Chains A and B, each alone.
Chain A
Amino acid sequence: MSPVIGVLAIQGDVREHARCLEQLDVDVRLVKTAEQLKDIAGLVIPGGESTTMSILAVKNNLFGPLRELRTQIPMYGSCAGLIMLANSISDGRADQETIGGLSITAKRNAFGRQVDSFEIDLHIPAIGEPDYHAVFIRAPLVEAASSAVEVLAAIPAGKSLTGTDQVVAVRQDNLMATSFHPEITSDLRIHKYFVDMVRSA
């Protein structure tokens, strides 16, 4: 039986994530309420605006159930989703709440505003060759991570103007997150990696 994977549908590029997942032979459910979280085997938190997503999750009483669920099933967040899964945020609103779970500090809009959004090829060992074409839109960065966090991908020092590695994809137990948006490309390897996590959970 195919597992049911939820996509948090408060706001953002929900449809693009759903389309990627459907191609990987799972059933997709769009989630707007706590009831819709029941019996899902995994949850994707899409790209969007993390401030808005967080405010609307508070207003719709979703943080309680989401925090409970993150200890039970795999979750994957892209861009705004990475911020939602981070234990702490820098450069966000002081009152911005998150689901948490990843022992990282996420820096919002770390690369600048929309004019600084970019595309770049990344080497990601966990998904194999060839390099992955990653799209960053007003993207966050993993500014700090505990030793419990596995780094899946970084923009190498040679390509980043800061001269240091910039961490853009992480995993910690059942949770994974990327600064970039695999859902708006046609390369399904990141989603496949997550679906494999769900299937083996």
Chain B
Amino acid sequence: MATDAASTGVTGTTRVKRGMADMLKGGVIMDVVNVEQAKIAEDAGAIAVMALERVPADIRAQGGVARMSDPTMIDEIIQAVSIPVMAKARIGHFVEAQVIQSLGVDYIDESEVLTPADYINHIDKWAFTVPFVCGATNLGEALRRINEGAAMIRSKGEAGTGDVSNATGHIRTIKGEIRRLSSMSKDELYVAAKELQAPYDLVCEVAEKGALPVVLFTAGGIATPADAAMMMQLGADGVFVGSGIFKSGDPVKRANAIVQATLHFDNPDEIAKASRGLGEAMVGINVADIPVPHRLAERGW
């Protein structure tokens, strides 16, 4: 990457990786598949864009193996917008991650939306200068990802459905498990760590702080302004919206509305204003109608 004024400071530290996610808080990260969509997202006030070839709803519909996007497409989006750009690598595919880092992407999503490349190991994220966000359905999974170097967590939900129920379930589970840890006495944390299948030190840190040591966004099925505001009221630091915007009737209006509702998440009048006249929401699919082997949230371990 061209840098006009690189300094002799230290790069790639935990603090700059986690701090980058802090700067995204209160924001909406939108999936985009081309430059035109990236510009719509930026104009609407998205905090970052996720550059990918197919949104989750299309991956679901078309099937087949879903992989990292074409570097040219990622480059074009980096050139087109001034907000941060994220891109997805397959779970465990450390070479896709190396490629994406070399493009100058600001954050890598090691994502269950793509087809996993390794059914045992995730990427060793400490080995990278670029920070990673990973999905989680519960606290143990979140802490295992943080232990591997993730600098940001998103609850998974069920991507590409427009059905918010799993997103709700996952953020409630993670927040609930954090509250439970906070109420435990010190000698109970050993067993808690065993049960969560998470490192003891991280479990103690969460118990003491009453929060994850990294930013927690939520994702997977958010399709309306009210969905986004509900995630914020449930304690998310921000939201990812994948198929919900560009699979809807009027993406420009909906993108703006979801951003406004995320900003004013605790103000029902503003959410109502944002919800008016948006046209059709994405048609969606009930998570309960998806056969278990096709549920993306089950990927990752």
Contacts and interface: CB of A to CB of B under 8 A. Distances in A.
Interface residues of A, number: 51
Most buried by A among B1, B26, B101, B260: B26
A172 B153 CA distance: 39
Interface string B101-118: 100111100000000000
Interface string A48-92: 110110011001100000000000000000011000000000011
A42 interface: no
A108 B131 CA distance: 20
A128 to B, nearest CB: 22
A110 B25 contact: no
Contact of A111 (B7, B12, B27, B260): B7
A120 B9 contact: yes
A1 interface: no
Interface stretch (A21-29, A97-105, A155-163): A155-163
Nearest to B5: A162
B199 interface: no
A118 B84 contact: no
B240 to A, nearest CB: 15
A141 B31 CA distance: 30
Contacts of A137: 16, 19-20, 23
A14 B26 contact: yes
Most buried by B among A60, A80, A109, A137: A137
B47 to A, nearest CB: 5
Contact of A112 (B1, B12, B25, B264): B1
A138 B263 contact: no
B264 A32 contact: yes
Interface in B1-54: 1-13, 15-16, 19-20, 22-27, 42-48
Interface in B27-85: 27, 42-48, 82-84
A79 B23 contact: yes
Interface string A112-134: 11111111100000000000000
A160 B45 contact: no
Contact of A117 (B8, B20, B104, B260): B20
A166 interface: yes
A82 to B, nearest CB: 13
Contacts of B8: 120, 159-161
B258 interface: no
B111 to A, nearest CB: 18
B20 A114 contact: yes
Contacts of B20: 114, 117, 137-138
B27 A52 contact: yes
B10 A14 contact: no
Interface residues of B, number: 46
A49 B106 contact: no
B259 interface: yes
Most buried by A among B2, B15, B20, B131: B15
Contact of A59 (B5, B9, B45, B106): B45
A3 interface: no
A105 B146 CA distance: 38
Contacts of A159: 7-9
B100 to A, nearest CB: 11
Interface stretch (A5-13, A144-152, A187-195): A5-13
Contact of B5 (A9, A32, A161): A161
Contacts of A161: 5-8
Contact of A115 (B26, B27, B130, B260): B130
B147 interface: no
Contacts of A138: 20, 23, 84, 106
Contact of A119 (B15, B46, B130, B256): B15
7 contacts: A11-B27, A14-B26, A52-B47, A113-B104, A114-B16, A118-B11, A119-B15
Given A116-B6, A184-B15, 7 more contacts: A32-B264, A48-B25, A49-B83, A52-B46, A112-B2, A116-B1, A119-B10
Interface of A: 9-16, 32, 47-49, 51-52, 55-56, 59-60, 79-80, 91-93, 107-120, 135-138, 141, 155, 159-162, 166, 181, 184-185
Interface of B: 1-13, 15-16, 19-20, 22-27, 42-48, 82-84, 101, 104-107, 129-131, 256, 259-260, 263-264
The 8 tightest CB contacts between A and B, nearest first, are: A118-B9, A120-B9, A112-B3, A114-B106, A117-B16, A13-B22, A11-B26, A55-B45
